[in-house]
Chains A and B, each alone.
Chain A
Amino acid sequence: MPSLLLKGGRLVDASTGLDRIADLLIIDGRIAEVAADGEGAGTSLKAPEGAEIIDVSGMIVAPGLIDMHTHLREPGREDKETVATAAEAAIRGGFTTIVAMPNTAPVADRGAVISLVRSQGVKAGLARVEAAGAITKGLGGDELAEYSELVAAGAIALTDDGHGVARSDIMRRALEYARMINLPLMLHEEDPQLSRGGQMHEGPVSVKLGLVGIPSAAEAAMVARDIELSELTGTPIHIQHVSAAETVARVREAKLRGIKVTAEVTPHHLSLTDSCLAGDLGFQPFDTNLKVNPPLRGESDRQALLEGLKDGTIDVIATDHAPHAAHEKEDDFISAPCGALGLQTALGIVLGKVVAPGFLSLEEALAKMTSAPARILGLDRGSLAQGAPADIMVFDPQSTWQVTSEVIASKSKNSPFIGWELPGVVRYVFIEGTAVLREGEIFPR
Chain B
Amino acid sequence: MPLSFRNLLSVEDITTEDIEMIMDTAASFAEVGSRPIKKVPALRGKTVATLFFEASTRTRVSFELAAKRLSADTVSVAAVSSSVSKGETIRDTAQTLEAMGVDAIVLRHPAPGSALRLSRFSGSVIINGGDGAHQHPTQALLDLFALRQKIGRLAGRKILVVGDVAFSRVARSTISLFSREGAEVVAVGPPTLLPVELGQLGCRIAYSLDDEIGDCDVIYLLRMQFERQTAALVPSLAEYCRHYSLTAARLAKAKPEVIVMHPGPMNRGIEISEEVANLPASSAVLDQVNAGVSVRMALLYLMLGGRDAIAAS
Contacts and interface: CB of A to CB of B under 8 A. Distances in A.
Contacts of A177: none
B303 to A, nearest CB: 21
B268 to A, nearest CB: 26
Contacts of B111: 332-335
B248 to A, nearest CB: 33
B113 A285 contact: yes
A333 B198 contact: no
B90 interface: yes
B8 to A, nearest CB: 15
Contact of A332 (B90, B169, B195): B90
A407 interface: no
- A-side interface mostly: loop
Interface stretch (A26-34, A147-155, A204-212, A257-265): A204-212
B134 A335 contact: no
Contacts of A211: 112, 132-134
Interface string B126-150: 0000011111000000000000000
A208 B198 CA distance: 7
Interface stretch (B94-102, B114-122, B153-161, B273-281): B114-122
A330 interface: yes
A207 B112 contact: no
Contact of A208 (B86, B116, B117, B200): B200
The residue among B90, B134, B135 with the most chain A CB atoms within 10 A of its own CB is: B134
B201 interface: yes
Contact of A286 (B113, B197, B201): B113
A333 B90 CA distance: 11
B112 A209 contact: yes
A330 B117 CA distance: 9
Contacts of A284: 116, 120
B174 to A, nearest CB: 13
Contacts of A207: 166, 195, 197-198, 200
Contact of B110 (A285, A286, A334): A334
Contacts of A285: 113, 116
B200 A332 contact: no
Nearest to B196: A207
B132 A208 contact: no
B135 A331 contact: no
A204 B197 contact: yes
B293 to A, nearest CB: 26
Interface residues of A, number: 17
A333 B114 contact: yes
A332 B197 contact: no
A211 B91 CA distance: 21
Nearest to A205: B197
B112 A210 contact: yes
Nearest to B167: A210
Interface residues of B, number: 29
Contacts of B108: none
A203 interface: yes
Given A210-B133, A332-B117, A286 B198 contact: no
A203 B198 CA distance: 10
B34 interface: no
Interface in A9-64: none
B89 interface: yes
Contacts of B112: 209-211, 286, 333-334
Contacts of B89: 327, 330-332
Interface string B30-72: 0000000000000000000000000000000000000000000
Interface in A153-209: 203-204, 207-209
Given A286-B113, A333-B111, A210 B197 contact: no
A331 B169 contact: no
Contact of B114 (A203, A204, A332): A332
A327 B110 CA distance: 18
B172 interface: yes
Contact of B113 (A204, A327, A330, A332): A332
A330 B120 CA distance: 11
Interface string A312-349: 00000000000000010011111100000000000000
A323 B201 CA distance: 36
Nearest to B136: A210
B109 interface: yes
A209 to B, nearest CB: 5
Interface string B76-106: 0000010100100111000000000000000
A331 B90 CA distance: 7
Nearest to B132: A210
A332 B114 CA distance: 6
A209 B90 contact: no
A335 B110 CA distance: 10
B114 A330 contact: no
Contacts of A203: 197
Nearest to B135: A210
Given A208-B197, A284-B120, A330-B89, 18 more contacts: A204-B197, A207-B166, A207-B195, A207-B197, A210-B112, A210-B135, A284-B116, A286-B112, A327-B89, A331-B86, A332-B117, A333-B111, A333-B112, A333-B113, A333-B117, A334-B110, A334-B132, A335-B86
10 contacts: A204-B197, A209-B112, A209-B134, A210-B131, A210-B135, A211-B133, A286-B113, A330-B89, A332-B111, A333-B117
Interface of B: 81, 83, 86, 89-91, 109-114, 116-117, 120, 131-135, 166-167, 169, 172, 195, 197-198, 200-201
Interface of A: 203-204, 207-211, 284-286, 327, 330-335
Closest 9 CB pairs between A and B? A286-B113, A210-B133, A332-B111, A210-B134, A204-B197, A334-B111, A207-B197, A207-B195, A210-B112
